[in-house]
Amino acid sequence: MSAVEPPAEPSLLERALETLRGVLGTHWSVVIGNAREIGAGSRTGLDALVRIIPPGTRDKPAELLVEVREQVTPRYAESHLVPLSSSLREAQIPFIVLLVARWISPRTQDVLRGHGIGYLDLTGNAFLSSTDPAIRILTQGDRRAPRPVQPNSKNVTLAGPRAGRVVRFLVDFTPPYRPTDIAEAAGVSLPWVSRLLTQLEEQLLVRREGRDIVRVDWPELLRARAASYDLLRHNPYVGALAPRGIGEVLDRLRKLDLGAEERPRAAVTGHYAARVLSPLASGGQLMLYTEAGPHPPHRLAEELGLFEVDEGAEVLLLRRHDEVVFERCRVVDGIPHVAYSQLVLDGLGGPGRMPSEAVAVLEYMSENESSWREPGKPVRLPRF
């Protein structure tokens, strides 16, 4: 007696369309066909034709040419799906292009939606727009990729200090430059930098011509880096009270020999640095980066006349996660402040209203890019 085979798992397309049926409701029909039956499949290489049939029989169905991919990047969407959708419109072929994937990143969604291309993933991210019949769907699922069952050890990410150094270089310095320039300045191996740049290029965060990086979408790069960075978790801190007020602490900071502007041993970040640029920033804790190790925060607290506490701190002394936080510091009213790029990363990765303050700093940076973004090569950091 032969064993009964278990039913086959539904395909990625079938699972995604089942979600679409749930959004449309029971009176709509979603039918899978074959793109070759309309002659478009052989020309486009797409995987299926899907018809969305509205209630009743008077309205014609919406016809979707579907591409199914396990993974998709913004670069793929821009280089393959956008030209395809444009060519269909130019040829007056009345089909909507729909991308189906397990997960579609917010940046890829922006590219697709900006060109009228539909998308659907298994986490609930969906966009579909049709005028005849009238369909308008826009839902949000996961903003972060589901964790893979078996992560690929060859992948590099924007998490960790090595990525932080590369991001700071890409943001702070105006292209063109080459991977070797980044590797030398950041103290990171060239193969690792090259792998990261390849991924950033797939995300449309950098553009290359040959071996040269020629453009960096630095605001989105900062946001992407901040998604894996937590200011207070990655920079262990000592909390303190200022018995004579924050003004007294700032006066003492001005009088301390904090070192060269490029490498001070303390630098202001957070609310007090953001308020220089943003009128929205007021109050909040004074945050100061110190050197790493068990003793520097305690020594600085003593020099500044602070009283260490476990709760209700007015001042946070942050043990820096990497030397890059002291790179390209600014001196404001006699006190070192972190670079704008570091300030944005700290704000986006910080608690409370710090992310909104960081957005205001980003706006300032966008309007005054020539005043803070530098050409040339920076001082080299120690290698990892």
Domain membership flag for residue 302: yes
Q: Is the pLDDT of residue 77 over 90?
A: yes
- Report the number of distinct structural domains present in the chain: 3
Q: Give yes or no for residue 7 having a pLDDT over 80.
A: no
Q: Rounded CA gap, 380 and 16, in Å?
A: 49
Cis omega (within 30 of 0) for bond into 375 = no
**CATH code of the domain containing 272:** 3.30.460
Classify the phi-psi angles of 333: left when phi > 0, otherwise alpha if psi is within -120 to 50, otherwise beta. Answer: left
3-state secondary structure 245-277: CHHHHHHHHHHCCCCCCCCCCEEEECHHHHCCC
pLDDT of residue 280: 59
- 384 located within any domain: no
- Better-scored residue on pLDDT, 25 or 368: 368
> Is 298 inside any structural domain?
yes
Q: Tell me what pLDDT residue 150 has.
A: 46
Among candidate residues 136, 141, 62, 65, the one with its CA nearest the CA of residue 108:
141
Using CB atoms within 10 A of its CB, is residue 278 exposed (0-12), middle (13-18) or buried (19+)?
Answer: buried
8 A C-beta contact, residue 297 and residue 317: yes
Return the closest-CA partner of residue 187 out of 209, 159, 168, 213: 168
If asked whether residues 197 and 283 sit together in one domain, one would say no
What sign results for the dihedral spanned by CA atoms 4, 5, 8, 9? Answer: positive
Q: Within this chain, do residues 247 and 222 fall inside the same structural domain, yes or no?
A: no
In this predicted structure, what is the pLDDT of residue 256?
80
CA atoms within 13 A on the CB side of 148: 7
Rounded CA-CA distance 264/331 in Å is 10
Q: Residue 261: its pLDDT value, please?
A: 47
Q: Closest Cα to residue 271, out of 171, 343, 216?
A: 343
pLDDT of residue 260: 47
Host domain of residue 202: 161-226
Angle formed by the axes of helices 354-367 and 340-348, nearest 10°: 150
User: Which amino acid type is present at position 301?
Assistant: A
CA distance 345 to 274: 12
245 shares its domain with 361: yes
Instruction: Check whether residue 237 and residue 221 sit in a common domain.
Output: no
39 by Cβ neighbours in 10 Å (0-12 / 13-18 / 19+) ranks as exposed
Extract the tokens encoding 4: 């009964």
pLDDT band at 41 (very low <50, low <70, confident <90, very high): very low
Q: Do residues 169 and 88 both lie within one domain?
A: no
Last-in-domain residue among 188, 203, 226: 226
Q: Mean pLDDT throughout 66-77? A: 91
Highest mean pLDDT among 86-95, 126-135, 357-366: 357-366
Domain boundary among 139, 170, 189: 139
pLDDT band for 36, please (50, 70, 90 cuts). low
Q: What is the mean pLDDT of residues 96-110?
A: 92
What pLDDT is recorded for position 29? 87
Q: What is the mean pLDDT of residues 308-316?
A: 92
The Cα–Cα gap between 324 and 327 comes to 5
Q: Do both 216 and 339 map to the same domain?
A: no
